[in-house]
C-alpha cells in the first residue's frame, strides 16, 4: 500500500535548514519531520522540541523511518552527504546549488538512477510572488515579444560576515549563492541561452570572494541581464521586462523569506505581496503610440508548494517540482559563467538537450 506520510530527516540547522526547510516541511501534508542533524542541538530543541536531534548524518541515514533526506549544509558538503544518503536508500532534496561542480552533480544523478531514488534541488525562488507574476504576464502575451529582461538580487550588507559563504571555499561567493536563483528563474522562462558573459568582483572592504556580479545571457532577439550586489542601499527594480507592446517593472522583494525569518508559518493568505508592480502598455492603434501605465498586483508567492509537490512526487503522483536535469542546467550555467569571468569573453553553449552539454569557444 502507498504510504500516507513520509518521514523526513534534515541535515543542517543553519539559516537554510532553520528558516526555510524545517517550517516548510512541517507545513506540507504527507511529510513528517522526524529528525535533525546539527552540531547545535540546543538551538534545534528550542524550535523543534518534538524532533530527534542527532550529532552525525550517518545515524540519520541508518534510520528505517526516514524516507527523505534534506541536505541544508555548506555547498561543498552537498555531494558527499547526498551520495551517502542515496546509497542508504533515501530520497533526496538538496538546497541550491545542487553541488559545487557539474561532475559531482552528474555523479549524484547516476547514483539516484542506480538506487531508483528521487533527487530534487530546492530552487525556491520559482515560487516568489514577482516571478510567478512575471511568468503569468509572459504567458499572457500582453507585453508582446520580450526584448530585454533584467533580474536583480541586490542587498546592502557592507560588512563581511564570518561565515562559510564569505570565505575562500568551493561554491562560496554571491554567484553560486544568488546567481543560482536567477539562473534557475531564467531557465524556467526561456530554457538554456546561446551564450553567457559574466563579470565578478569583490567590492566590499575585506571581501575574500565575489560579492557583486553582472551576467548577460544571449537568447537571440532577447537579452537577459542578471545583477546582484551586497553594496546597494537604494532600492533598485527587482525585475524589469520590456517587450514590443509594453513594460513591467517591479520593486521590492517577495515577503516570504522575511516572514519565515521571524517565525511566521504558512496560512491561507500566505505569500501576498502588497507592493504592486507597474505595467505600462501601448494601447494605440496602427502607428500611433499611446502608453498607459497602471499598478499590477502580484500573484501570491507560494514556497509551501515545493514540499507539497515533493510529497506528491514521493507518492508517484507527479515528477519532482525541480527535476535533476533542471538543476544540472543551472550547474552548467554557473560553471560557464565562471569560465567566462576567467577568460574575459562570451562562452557559447551547445544547442540541444541532453548531457553532457559541452561549452564551446
Q: Tell me what pLDDT residue 353 has.
A: 46
| Helix residue ranges, H only, the chain | 15, 22-27, 41-47, 57-61, 78-87, 102-115, 129-140, 174, 180-190, 256-261, 304-314, 324-343
Q: What cell was used for 145?
A: 515579444
CB 307 within 8 A of CB 25: yes
Q: Helices 324-343 and 180-190, interaxial angle, to 10°?
A: 120
3-state SS of 38-85 is CCCHHHHHHHCCCCEEECCHHHHHCCCCCCEEEECCCHHHHHHHHHHH
In tens digits, the chain (361 residues) has pLDDT values of 567 899 999 999 999 999 999 999 999 999 999 999 999 999 999 999 999 999 999 999 999 999 999 999 999 999 999 999 999 999 999 999 999 999 999 999 999 999 999 999 999 999 999 999 999 999 999 999 999 999 999 999 999 999 999 999 999 999 999 999 999 999 999 999 999 999 999 999 999 999 999 999 999 999 999 999 999 999 999 999 999 999 999 999 999 999 999 999 888 889 999 999 999 999 888 888 989 999 999 999 999 999 999 999 999 999 999 999 999 999 999 999 999 999 999 999 986 544 445 555 4
CB 313 within 8 A of CB 326: no
**For the domain with range 129-253+267-301+333-348, which CATH number is right: 3.40.50.1110, 3.90.1010.10, 3.30.360.10, 3.30.565.10?**
3.30.360.10
Contacts of residue 160, Cβ cutoff 8 Å, sequence gap at least 6: 166, 204, 205, 206, 207, 208, 211
CATH fold of 6-124+305-321 reads Rossmann fold (3.40.50)
**What count of residues does the chain have?**
361
CA 12 to chain centre: 18
| Residue 39 CB burial class (10 angstroms; 0-12, 13-18, ≥19) | exposed
**The whole model's pTM is what?**
0.94
| Residue 223 CB burial class (10 angstroms; 0-12, 13-18, ≥19) | middle
Q: What cell was used for 346?
A: 562570451
Q: What whole-number distance in Å separates Cα of residue 222 and Cα of residue 224?
A: 7
Vertex 317: Cα angle to 315 and 323 (nearest 5): 90
Enumerate the β-bridge partners of residue 341. none
Q: Where are the domains of the chain?
A: 6-124+305-321, 129-253+267-301+333-348
Q: Tell me what pLDDT residue 352 has.
A: 55
Give which of 322, 316, 310 is closest to 8, Cα–Cα.
310
Same fold, 6-124+305-321 and 129-253+267-301+333-348: no
Q: Helices 180-190 and 129-140, interaxial angle, to 10°?
A: 20
Amino acid at each position: 500500500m502507498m504510504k500516507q506520510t513520509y518521514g523526513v530527516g534534515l541535515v543542517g540547522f543553519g539559516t537554510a535548514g532553520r528558516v526555510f526547510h524545517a517550517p516548510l516541511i512541517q507545513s506540507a501534508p504527507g511529510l513528517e519531520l522526524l529528525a535533525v542533524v546539527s552540531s547545535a542541538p540546543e538551538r534545534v530543541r528550542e524550535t523543534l522540541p518534538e524532533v530527534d536531534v542527532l550529532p552525525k548524518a550517518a545515524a540519520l541515514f541508518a534510520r528505517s523511518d526516514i524516507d527523505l533526506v534534506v541536505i541544508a549544509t555548506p555547498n561543498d558538503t552537498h555531494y558527499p552527504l547526498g551520495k551517502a544518503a542515496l546509497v542508504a536508500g533515501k530520497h533526496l532534496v538538496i538546497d541550491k546549488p545542487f553541488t559545487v561542480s557539474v561532475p559531482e552533480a552528474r555523479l549524484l544523478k547516476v547514483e539516484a538512477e542506480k538506487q531508483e531514488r528521487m533527487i530534487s534541488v530546492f530552487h525556491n525562488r520559482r515560487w516568489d510572488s514577482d516571478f510567478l507574476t512575471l511568468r503569468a504576464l509572459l504567458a499572457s502575451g500582453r507585453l508582446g515579444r520580450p526584448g530585454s529582461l533584467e533580474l536583480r538580487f541586490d542587498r546592502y550588507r557592507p560588512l563581511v560576515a564570518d561565515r562559510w559563504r564569505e570565505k575562500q571555499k568551493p561554491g562560496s561567493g554571491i554567484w553560486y549563492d544568488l546567481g543560482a536563483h536567477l539562473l534557475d528563474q531564467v531557465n524556467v522562462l526561456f530554457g538554456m541561452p546561446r551564450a553567457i558573459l559574466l563579470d565578478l568582483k569583490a567590492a566590499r572592504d575585506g571581501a575574500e570572494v565575489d560579492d557583486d556580479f553582472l551576467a548577460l545571457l544571449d537568447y537571440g532577439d532577447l537579452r537577459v541581464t542578471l545583477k546582484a550586489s551586497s553594496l546597494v542601499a537604494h532600492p533598485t527594480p527587482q525585475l524589469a521586462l520590456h517587450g514590443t507592446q509594453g513594460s513591467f517593472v517591479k520593486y521590492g522583494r517577495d515577503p516570504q523569506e522575511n516572514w519565515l525569518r521571524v517565525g511566521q508559518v504558512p496560512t491561507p493568505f500566505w505569500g501576498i505581496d502588497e507592493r504592486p508592480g507597474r505595467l505600462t502598455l501601448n494601447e494605440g492603434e496602427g502607428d500611433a503610440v499611446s502608453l498607459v501605465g497602471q499598478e499590477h498586483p502580484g500573484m501570491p508567492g507560494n514556497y509551501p508548494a515545493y514540499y507539497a509537490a515533493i510529497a506528491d512526487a514521493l507518492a508517484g503522483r507527479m515528477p519532482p517540482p525541480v527535476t535533476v536535469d533542471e538543476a544540472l542546467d543551472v550547474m552548467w550555467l554557473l560553471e560557464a559563467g565562471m569560465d567566462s569571468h576567467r577568460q574575459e569573453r562570451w562562452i557559447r553553449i551547445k544547442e540541444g538537450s541532453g548531457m553532457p552539454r559541452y561549452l564551446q569557444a
